[in-house]
């Protein structure tokens, strides 16, 4: 099924190359992108549809529906990546009797930068 959708996306892309104003094909490709979890590409196609047809109901609804889905997916991916980085850090720190729990990150609200503080006993509350 995924190969069929990928093939359909490729066909839609070729049709768009031939006629850049083919709204129906953009709409079909946007739906296929959404079905295959390519939410960013889907949103771009819906934006393009709105440029050509500002009254398109499906595209307007997608402009509202997709950004929260994209943000949720990105947050999930970020948390997953941070978890893997912590696991990797713990793997390297373990021979030294340390873990990522020994390090505390604090974000500066003014600059957005981070400072890292070492905590000898991570289970004790900070003073």
Considering the entire predicted model, what is its pTM?
0.71
116 bridge partner residues: 105
Q: What pLDDT sits at residue 100?
A: 85
Give the model confidence (pLDDT) of 67-126 as tens digits. 999 999 999 999 999 899 889 988 988 888 888 888 888 888 888 888 888 888 766 665
Burial of residue 53 (CB within 10 Å: 0-12, 13-18, 19+) is: middle
Listed by start position, the domains of the chain span 2-70
Q: Give the span between the Cα atoms of 49 and 21, in whole angstroms.
A: 9
59-66 long-range CB contacts below 8 Å, 24 or more apart? 59/27, 59/30, 62/30, 62/34, 66/34, 66/39, 66/42
Distances (CA, A) of 76 to 31, 70, 80, 81: 22, 10, 6, 9
Handedness of CA 70, 75, 76, 78 (dihedral sign): positive
pLDDT band per the 50, 70, 90 thresholds, residue 15: very high
Handedness of CA 77, 34, 46, 5 (dihedral sign): positive
Fold that domain 2-70 belongs to in CATH: 1.25.40
């Amino acid at each position: 099924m995924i190969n069929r959708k990928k093939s359909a996306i490729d066909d839609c892309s070729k049709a768009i190359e031939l006629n850049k104003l083919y709204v129906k094909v953009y709409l079909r490709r946007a739906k296929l992108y959404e079905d295959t979890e390519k939410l960013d590409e889907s949103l771009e196609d819906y934006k393009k549809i709105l440029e050509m047809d500002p009254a398109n109901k499906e595209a307007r609804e997608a402009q509202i529906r997709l950004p929260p889905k994209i943000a949720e997916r990105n947050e999930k991916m970020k948390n997953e990546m941070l978890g893997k980085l912590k696991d990797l850090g713990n793997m390297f720190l373990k021979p030294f009797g340390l873990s990522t729990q020994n390090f505390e990150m604090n974000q500066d609200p003014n600059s957005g930068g981070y400072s890292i503080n070492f905590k000898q006993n991570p289970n004790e509350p900070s003073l």
